């Protein structure tokens, strides 16, 4: 494998771009703004009402307010974003990831306005971003793939027919998105209707298109992706790989580069297949080809036509700035690295630090103010974040606070160094996924590279305080029945609670929360209701997007009664008892707080 020449890795952009509008928010907007400043390029950002004082707004040279809270009023409004770029004199637009990053209409609107879109062409996005079309291109390019539908599906019967032919589980996936949004796993025919409706609803909300397709879900595979880059001079290369198998709810938690334990010939074969795919659609810019790896075989999963969330681990082992490389390509220059498969230097691990409470494996979205954010100062440690102390994580958008990226000369050192950094990283104010990341890195399976995409949810335990008291504490009180049951992603969890009226009162109060490497502390937050009481409460602050019952309906324990959306995640709320719905207290569209009553089920 060729080594990246230092002079190529450090070479800057020529300056053909003078001002770039960043059509995003959060940590990726901050990251792009900072690279633009390093390259001597002016920056413009857009922001919603909720983000008026956000870090990306504070750092940019200019900002444009796009009034409204919901993303479809601002970050997904193509016409308003393009007009903002024109009004501020920007000559290019960087979409980041998420929102409009893989929207062909947006790419075309930018170029039609005489601006440079920092990404592939609208045609390439349309082909590769539409997952069904991408599967056809992959087949033509000789890239192996798992069984899947050649056309979008619109009925639950299509899911059942596919499952009967290819077996379960079946993955229902958004045709125009990625990152696990709009994806549901169907374990059997009885789950098809709910899975299809949920996937379509979430895909429509996240990507503006509710179309979905099917794939056979490989339950014992690893998720490995290859970074590719192509320029307008006919050069296309692959720049290493990343393992992204550690996932929950199809959302990645820990990523690393290079993917450990892959034979060199398999690694090269995956990279070459990714380049063939890019060339087949005349791709230009940064992209990621995702695979499922099972044994010594790999299968095409999808292509992300944008910069990836986990791109910093590739940067860490190659000594490159991939955002700067995007700017270079957009300015019409050739790639700085013209040989595929540059040899990585050492090993890098990324932990996504989200405002979610992982206790009990629930990963409950937990927006709120960040009273203090303290990042450890250690060799090889980097923290990409869209927040500083005093900022607030809003419930309207993604839950990510930042990405802890740690480099080491080898994988063992990188793991130990990451654990030390997690111990010292402090986020005061909201629960975070820090304890979950620690549980992953401390697990013997992770050290031994013995994991798959289902490993985190099936093999890793997440003990800790939920509802203000740990399970051990509840047992110490001598109340073995003081438990409540919830179901998340098809798994049953038993959680403790403070019973009686005190719990209900506590649930209505905003908890004081602190998260750091030593664990998650959450005081005063009551449980959704006493076990067996039939009280149904919202486990988080969010918006009610589905009400599946009415007064007088007969329900069973485990049945989904409501769906609450928070921070771009759908969360089913289920009955804990068999009984009759006595009163439904909310409607679709209602915004509820954590612990807010949703309904009462009178036990049978």
pLDDT (0 to 100) of residue 461: 86
pLDDT per residue as tens digits for the range 427-469: 999 999 999 999 999 999 999 999 999 899 889 988 654 433 3
pLDDT value at 64 more than 50: yes
Look at strands 42-47 and 62-65 and give their pairing: parallel
Confidence band of 388 (pLDDT split at 50, 70, 90): very high
Q: Does the structure show a pLDDT above 50 at 306?
A: yes
147-216: CATH superfamily: ATP-grasp fold, A domain (3.30.1490.20)
Phi, psi of 95 (to 5 degrees): -85, -10
**Pair type for strands 569-574 and 560-566:** antiparallel
3-17, 79-93, 475-489: least confidently modelled range: 475-489
Write down the pLDDT at residue 515: 56
Which of the residue ranges 1-10, 42-51, 89-98, 536-545 would you say has the lowest mean pLDDT? Answer: 1-10
Mean pLDDT of the 323-350 span: 97
Taking each continuous run of H as one helix and of E as one strand, the counts in the chain are 18, 34
Q: Give the domain ranges of the chain.
A: 147-216, 471-603
pLDDT in the model for residue 238: 98
Instruction: Please check whether residue 378 is in contact with residue 400, taking contact to mean a CB–CB distance below 8 angstroms.
Output: no
- pLDDT greater than 80 at residue 86: yes
Residues 74-79 have a mean pLDDT of 96
Contact 504, 526 (CB under 8 A): yes
Specify burial of residue 23 (Cβ count, 10 A radius: 0-12, 13-18, 19+): buried
Residue 352 pLDDT more than 50? yes
Mean pLDDT of 138-151: 88
φ and ψ at residue 158, rounded to 5 degrees: -65, -35
pLDDT > 70 in the chain, percent: 85
Task: Compute the distance between CA of residue 189 and CA of residue 157 in angstroms, rounded to an integer.
Answer: 9
State the architecture of 471-603 in CATH terms. Answer: Beta Barrel (2.40)
pLDDT of residue 522: 36
pLDDT at 278 over 90: yes
- Give just the sign of the alpha carbon dihedral 106, 110, 116, 121: positive
**Average pLDDT of span 12-20:** 72
Write down the H helix ranges in 388-443: 411-424, 434-442
Residue 413 has pLDDT above 90, yes or no: yes
């Amino acid at each position: 494998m060729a080594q990246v020449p230092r002079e190529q890795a450090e070479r800057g952009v020529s300056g053909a771009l003078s001002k770039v509008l960043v059509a995003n928010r959060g940590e990726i907007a901050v990251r792009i703004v900072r690279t633009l400043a390093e390259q001597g390029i002016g920056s413009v950002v857009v922001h919603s009402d909720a983000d008026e004082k956000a870090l990306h707004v504070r750092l940019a040279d200019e900002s444009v307010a796009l009034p409204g809270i919901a993303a479809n009023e601002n970050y997904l409004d193509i016409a308003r974003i393009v007009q903002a770029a024109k009004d501020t004199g920007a000559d290019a637009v960087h979409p980041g990831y998420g929102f409009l990053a893989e929207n062909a209409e947006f790419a075309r609107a930018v170029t039609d306005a005489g601006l440079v879109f920092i990404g592939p062409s609208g045609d390439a996005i349309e082909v590769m971003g539409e997952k069904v079309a991408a599967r056809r291109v992959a087949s033509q390019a000789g890239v192996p793939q798992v069984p899947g539908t050649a056309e979008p599906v619109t009925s639950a019967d299509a899911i059942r027919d596919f499952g009967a032919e290819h077996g379960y589980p079946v993955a229902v996936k958004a045709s125009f998105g990625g990152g696990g949004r709009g994806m549901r796993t169907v374990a059997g025919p009885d789950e098809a209707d709910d899975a299809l409706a949920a996937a379509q609803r979430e895909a429509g909300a996240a990507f503006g298109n509710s179309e979905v397709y099917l794939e056979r879900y490989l339950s014992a595979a690893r998720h490995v992706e290859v970074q590719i880059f192509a320029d307008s001079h006919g050069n296309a290369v692959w720049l290493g790989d990343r393992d992204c198998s550690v996932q929950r709810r199809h959302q990645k938690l820990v990523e690393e580069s290079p993917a450990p334990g892959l034979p060199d010939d398999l690694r090269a074969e995956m990279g070459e297949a990714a380049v063939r795919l890019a060339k087949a659609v005349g791709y230009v810019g940064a992209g990621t080809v995702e695979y499922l790896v099972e044994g010594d075989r790999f299968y095409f999963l999808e292509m992300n036509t944008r910069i990836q969330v986990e791109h910093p681990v590739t940067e860490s082992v190659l000594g490159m700035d991939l955002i700067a490389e995007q700017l270079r390509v957009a300015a019409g220059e050739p790639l700085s690295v013209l040989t595929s498969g540059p040899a990585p230097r050492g090993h890098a691990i990324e932990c996504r630090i989200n405002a979610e409470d992982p206790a009990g494996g629930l990963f409950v979205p937990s927006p709120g103010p960040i009273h203090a954010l303290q990042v450890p100062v250690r060799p090889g440690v980097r923290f990409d974040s869209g927040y500083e102390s005093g900022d607030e994580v809003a419930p309207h958008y993604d839950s990510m606070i930042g990405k802890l990226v740690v480099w080491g000369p080898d994988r063992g050192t990188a793991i130990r160094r990451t654990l030390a950094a997690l111990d010292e990283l402090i986020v005061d104010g909201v629960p975070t996924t820090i304890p979950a990341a620690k549980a992953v890195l401390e697990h013997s399976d992770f050290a031994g590279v013995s994991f798959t995409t289902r490993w985190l949810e099936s093999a890793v335990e997440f003990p800790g305080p939920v509802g203000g008291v740990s399970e051990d504490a509840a047992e110490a009180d001598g109340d073995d029945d003081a438990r409540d049951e919830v179901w998340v992603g098809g798994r049953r969890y038993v959680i403790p609670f403070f019973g009686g009226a005190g719990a209900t009162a506590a649930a209505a109060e905003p908890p004081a929360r602190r998260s750091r490497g030593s664990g998650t502390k959450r005081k005063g937050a009551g449980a959704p209701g006493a076990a067996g009481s039939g009280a149904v409460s919202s486990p988080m602050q969010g918006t009610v997007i589905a009400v599946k019952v009415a007064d007088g309906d007969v329900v069973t324990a485990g049945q989904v009664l409501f769906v609450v959306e928070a921070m771009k995640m759908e969360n089913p709320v289920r009955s804990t008892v068999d009984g009759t719905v006595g009163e439904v207290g909310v409607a679709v569209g209602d915004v509820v707080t954590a612990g807010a009553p949703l309904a009462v089920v009178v036990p049978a």
